[in-house]
Amino acid sequence: MKPVLLLFLLLGFTAVSQDTTSVEKYTIEQFYGNTRVSGGEFSNDETKLLVSSDESGIFNVYEIDIEDGSKKQITQSKEDSYFAEDYVPGTGEIIYSADKGGNEINHLYLLKKDGEVKDLTPGENEKTSFIRWSEDDKSLLYISNKRDPKFFDVYKMDIGTWQPNMLYQNDEGYQLEGLSHNEQMVALSRPITTSENQLFIYDREKDKMQEISKQKGSYSASGFSKDDQKFYYITDIGKEFSYLVEYDLETGETSPVYETNWDVMYSYLSENDKYRVIAINEDGKNRLIVQNNETGEEIDLPEVPDADIKAVNLSDSENLMRLTIGTSKTPNNLYVYDFRTNEIKKLTNTLNPEIDPEDLVASEVVRYKSFDSLEIPAIYYKPH
């Protein structure tokens, strides 16, 4: 039986001490003064990151210079939150998403170099979500429910004309899990319970649906190999912990890629499959493993103390990796790791400057035995 991790938020971010003269007390308003930041897509020349931040009071789109960490606000919204999606390949233009007045009907918008904004998905009740760019960088791939508000179909829109064409009509209410590089294979899932779902691969060319989840359990897609011969997914079938599996799309054979005595949370391949990134939930925090697929060696990453790695993104050149990292004492921040120099650089500082992180406490993992002698791990915040 897998131990359940109990989160003891005795004080969380609150800084309290029996010796009130040595540790500052902070108000909840000061903690609400922290900045939230998300995203982090590389520019075409990989000198900037495109991010979303609410430092203006509401989410807007910003650019961060990777060299010096300077930030430039790109959009100036005062009412609706704008979320960065990506740069348009080869143009310097930007795609962002936003709803209207909190109606949660997100549209995709093109921000041109001259400041003009074009709604690419103008349907009044059309809800959309950005997927990625096509392999040749000439088209935008996204999902939309404009055909039927109950279901999300997959569309392709050429850069320049911005006219949508449907790639996959979703009549059964599947959830999109991913697309192969050549767009022939569509990974789909269907929830059964909170701990069980089905995973499928649909071949658009053959009009054939193949179920991957032959046994009942939890499945999540983890992408395709560059040559589209392999499909990867994470499952807990037959194991105490979830693990990464390779599925041969031609033969249907499966083989484990990575497993350990912790849950695999997510895994990605870099643009040309040079690197594989694997995050495992180790004692309640995501620890990152980066494998060099050419040498078979694991990259020795610089340590960020108390790090919980929430998300990663690798640049197309496979030279840089953006990491979203939170700690016990700080909200999420953005970092960039350089594979060539083995150096990591912090680009944001989202903690309210009125708060001294040294007044906050770092979490520690403790273990105690249950009534049946089962060892229970827990995250504990010990006051100063």
Q: Are 97 and 142 contained in the same domain?
A: yes
Q: Are residues 5 and 133 in the same domain?
A: no
Residue 377 pLDDT grade (very low, low, confident, very high; cuts 50, 70, 90):
confident
Q: Please check whether residues 167 and 69 belong to one and the same domain.
A: yes
Q: Are 335 and 344 in contact (CB under 8 A)?
A: yes
Task: Single out the residue of 86, 138, 92, 131 nearest to residue 115, CA to CA.
Answer: 92
Integer Cα distance of 320 and 312 in angstroms: 10
Q: Are 47 and 131 contained in the same domain?
A: yes
* Nearest Cα to Cα of residue 254 among 288, 278, 219, 289: 219
What pLDDT band is residue 139 in, cutting at 50, 70 and 90? very high
Same domain flag for 11 and 101:
no
Of the given ranges (4-18, 108-122, 142-156, 167-181), which has the lowest mean pLDDT?
4-18
Q: Would you list the DSSP string of 77-140?
A: -SSS-EEEEEEPTTT--EEEEE-STT----EEEEE-TTS-EEESS--TT--EEEEEE-TTSSEE
As a whole number, mean pLDDT of residues 101-125 equals: 96
Displacement of CA 193 from its chain's centroid (Å): 23
Distance CA(30)–CA(256), nearest Å, equals: 47
- Summarize pLDDT for 179-189 with one digit per residue, the tens: 999 999 999 99
Q: Are residues 18 and 49 in the same domain?
A: no
Distance CA 208, CA 205 (A): 8
Q: What is the pLDDT of residue 4?
A: 46
Beta strand pairing call for 175-179 and 185-193: antiparallel
Strand order in the sheet with 185-193: 175-179, 185-193, 196-203, 208-211
Confidence category of residue 18, pLDDT binned at 50, 70, 90: very low
Q: Are strands 219-224 and 230-235 parallel, antiparallel or unpaired?
A: antiparallel
Three-state SS annotation for 355-368: CCHHHCCCEEEEEE
Give the end of a domain, one of 148, 173, 198: 173
Residues shown for the chain:
384
Q: Tell me if 320 sits within 8 A of 336, measured CB to CB.
A: yes
Residue 50 lies in a domain: yes
Q: Which residue, 134, 158, 173, sits at the end of a domain?
A: 173
3 inside domain: yes
Q: What CATH code is carried by the domain that includes residue 147?
A: 2.120.10.30
Residue ending a domain, among 149, 173, 197, is: 173
With contact defined as beta carbons under 8 Å apart, do 361 and 23 qualify?
no
Single pTM value for the model: 0.89
Is the domain of 45 the same as that of 155?
A: yes
Instruction: Check if the beta carbon of residue 326 is closer than 8 Å to that of residue 34.
Output: no
The verdict on 66 and 149 lying in the same domain is yes
Query: What proportion of the chain, given as a percentage, has pLDDT over 90?
Result: 88
Look at residue 264 and tell me if it is in a domain.
Answer: no
Residue type, 253: E
Q: Are strands 375-381 and 6-8 parallel, antiparallel or unpaired?
A: parallel
Look up residue 260 and give its two tokens: 């350990």
The domain total for the chain is 2
Check pLDDT > 90 for residue 3. Answer: no
Amino acid at 320: L
Are 192 and 172 in contact, with CB atoms under 8 Å apart?
no
Could you give the percent of the chain with pLDDT greater than 70?
95
Q: Which helix (H) or strand (E) holds 30?
A: helix 28-32
Inside any domain, residue 191: no
Are 20 and 102 within one domain? no
pLDDT of 87 > 90? The answer is yes
For residues 1 and 51, membership in a common domain is answered with: no
Residue 107 included in any domain? yes
Domain assignment of residue 23, given as a range: 1-27+363-384
Residue 231, in any domain of the structure: no
pLDDT score of 5 = 44
Digit-coded pLDDT (tens) for 276-332: 999 999 988 899 999 999 999 999 999 998 999 999 999 999 999 999 999 999 999
Q: Is residue 292 part of a domain?
A: no
Same domain as 147, residue 168: yes
Beta strands in 20-93 (DSSP E): 37-42, 48-53, 60-65, 71-73, 82-87
The answer to whether residue 290 sits within a structural domain is no
- Residues 66, 129 share a domain: yes
DSSP 371: T
* Strands 230-235 and 275-282, bridge-based pairing: unpaired
- pLDDT of amino acid 383: 87
pLDDT category at 56 given cuts 50, 70, 90 is very high
